[in-house]
Chains A and B, each alone.
Chain A
């Protein structure tokens, strides 16, 4: 293992390289662009044995990886904001055909260049597993883990690994880079099932067609167990893991309230929680990494342990509300004793979220936990 100081986009490209990706495709879009350049550099230098295709747009990028994955190549693509939205149509089929494509999404909102999670969240109904990660180390590790989960025969569902544009994409952090042999041991070669090669093909076999809705939904729900398993095994082999793979609880022991955050806001929230803990305040942090499939069971357990939950959404489902807020309320509804669930919209269109902002949100959540009256309205920070 070697430590290298690298930007988030290099961490993503390095994750793809270590995963021995065979077909990589991308169309440049800020702030994803340098992933494409790093991949091209790795391939040109001969460090990576991979077909790299400069396509004419993101829709084609998605279709190229979909088709190549079906033939039997391990595939990678990456995008941001508008490019991510342009991919929408074929993304449905990548999941419906149960192809283990992995894609890095460098978050960029649709009202400017700056990050929020509305790009990837616009794809909630496409049937992709969605992870939102916090730092460059987690970018690299999650891409390797994503192939292991996606290619598991119990799953065979594509995975998007999202990280905040600029905040991570162009910011350098030290990253432990695993040795190639260690990754090879963790991640066996990909085999398509069934094979489409002429000698294996049986014209009488059922068509490889879109999986029906109910089965499709259940496969994605059941992927939670595989994600947990893979996260745990990654921890044993590499000495790092990320909560249970779905959520990560930070200093939640004896907490009466928790803040829930995604992506880089979770990093900032760790400092806020440390400050509040130092003052003896009973609050913890839950990092929500896996939005799809949604970890209902984890939030039911957390919801039965605390009196208030505050969700910080770096997104808005217009006319509906925060995605995380809505999902968490859904998760806790069946509990006998429900905690209060407060919602906050923060960091949209890249608006800065400071430690003090999170402390203030946390104070409001603590107030609700003490049973004091707080406005039930979702707050725009």
Chain B
């Protein structure tokens, strides 16, 4: 990734505000940062999702399950028309990436299509009203993983999609966060200069779905990273692994969980269970970072 300071972030705006996003919308900020870094030679593709990413660039849409195929069509048509200067960019929610769009994503990655795929990951189907996705974390409340005598929220941890995409041996896979804009934009600028399939999974808190005050979006996003709930890293060619944010000590996950209504029901035991999972995962990531190698 490119090393940047906050002063290097481009001033040009490519998203149109005000959009129709909720107050404190994480994905809207992700769109603002990503499209600043990409510039104006972009065709943005979307599938059904929250209307949080209105850009001044040309844009297309297609059915929910099809982002990988549509981006393929855009990219190949640009190639055959001799327009390699225009980027085919997907700005797709976690439903369209992790779940219903997964088949077409995997196929496009395997073919190493020349596309940039951003997952604006808010960890559930927010556009239809907070239903769980396979990006929803363990024990999170959603309207389809409710809490009551027979339910403790989502029963399983989320899918490790960035690793799955990296296992396709594509040129670039990274995770990012809206609370770390220089890290995010550094990754976008690096990805922009490569060719082939590039994937950046951006954690974007959703105040409406995660149940926290809209003024705290950045704080929640920052704590996700500082607690190790969402680690920042990049994987190059499915081979090289590097953590891009490495605090000396992680903050306790409780700080992140307790400020969100979707985790309000958690017992101390459940928080401990999540803490153990995060600690184990962090140890593993540190080891990968030290060796510099992606294990698949």
Contact = CB atoms under 8 A, between A and B. Distances in A.
Interface stretch (A53-61, A104-112, A294-302, A369-377): A53-61
B107 A63 contact: no
A60 B77 contact: no
B57 interface: yes
Interface stretch (B17-25, B63-71, B210-218): B63-71
B62 A90 contact: yes
Interface string A15-59: 000000011010000000000000000000000011101111101
A50 B80 contact: yes
B77 A63 contact: no
Contacts of B103: 56-57, 60
B43 A23 contact: no
B42 to A, nearest CB: 7
Contacts, number: 116
B9 interface: no
Interface stretch (A70-78, A127-135, A145-153, A259-267): A70-78
A203 B56 contact: yes
Contacts of B73: 23, 25, 63-71, 75
Contact of B76 (A51, A61, A70): A51
B104 interface: yes
Contact of B58 (A56, A62, A65, A201): A201
Q: Is the interface of A mostly helix, strand, loop or mixed?
A: mixed
B69 A63 contact: yes
A196 B66 contact: no
Q: Which of B42, B43, B76 has the most CB of A within 10 A?
A: B76
B159 interface: no
Contacts of B72: 53, 55, 60, 64, 67
B111 A54 contact: yes
Given A23-B76, A71-B77, A89-B63, A196 B69 contact: no
Contact of B77 (A68, A89, A198, A201): A68
Contact of B62 (A23, A75, A93): A93
B95 to A, nearest CB: 15
Nearest to B62: A63
A64 B72 CA distance: 6
Nearest to B41: A198
B76 A68 contact: yes
20 contacts: A22-B81, A51-B76, A53-B72, A56-B103, A56-B104, A56-B110, A57-B103, A60-B68, A60-B103, A63-B69, A64-B72, A67-B45, A67-B60, A69-B77, A73-B76, A73-B80, A73-B81, A75-B73, A90-B63, A196-B58
A53 B66 CA distance: 15
B51 to A, nearest CB: 12
Given A53-B111, A56-B107, A72-B81, A201 B57 contact: yes
B107 A55 contact: yes
B45 to A, nearest CB: 8
Contacts of B203: none
B77 A73 contact: yes
A51 B62 CA distance: 21
Given A53-B111, A198-B58, A203-B56, A71 B74 contact: yes
Contacts of A62: 69
A197 interface: yes
B40 interface: yes
Interface of A: 22-23, 25, 49-51, 53-57, 59-73, 75, 89-90, 93, 196-198, 201, 203, 208
B3 interface: no
A24 to B, nearest CB: 10
Interface string B67-92: 01111111011111101001000000
Contact of B104 (A23, A60, A66): A60
A324 B72 CA distance: 38
A32 to B, nearest CB: 18
B74 A198 contact: no
Contacts of B107: 55-57, 60
Contact of B57 (A55, A64, A67, A198): A198
B114 to A, nearest CB: 11
Q: Which of B45, B60, B66, B83 has the most CB of A within 10 A?
A: B66
Given A53-B72, A201-B58, A60 B80 contact: no
Given A67-B69, A71-B77, 11 more contacts: A22-B77, A23-B76, A49-B80, A51-B80, A60-B66, A60-B72, A64-B73, A67-B60, A67-B71, A93-B62, A196-B60
Closest A-B pairs by Cβ, 10 of them: A67-B73, A60-B69, A71-B77, A56-B107, A63-B69, A68-B77, A68-B73, A63-B66, A73-B77, A64-B73
B78 A71 contact: yes
Nearest to A195: B58
B76 A203 contact: no
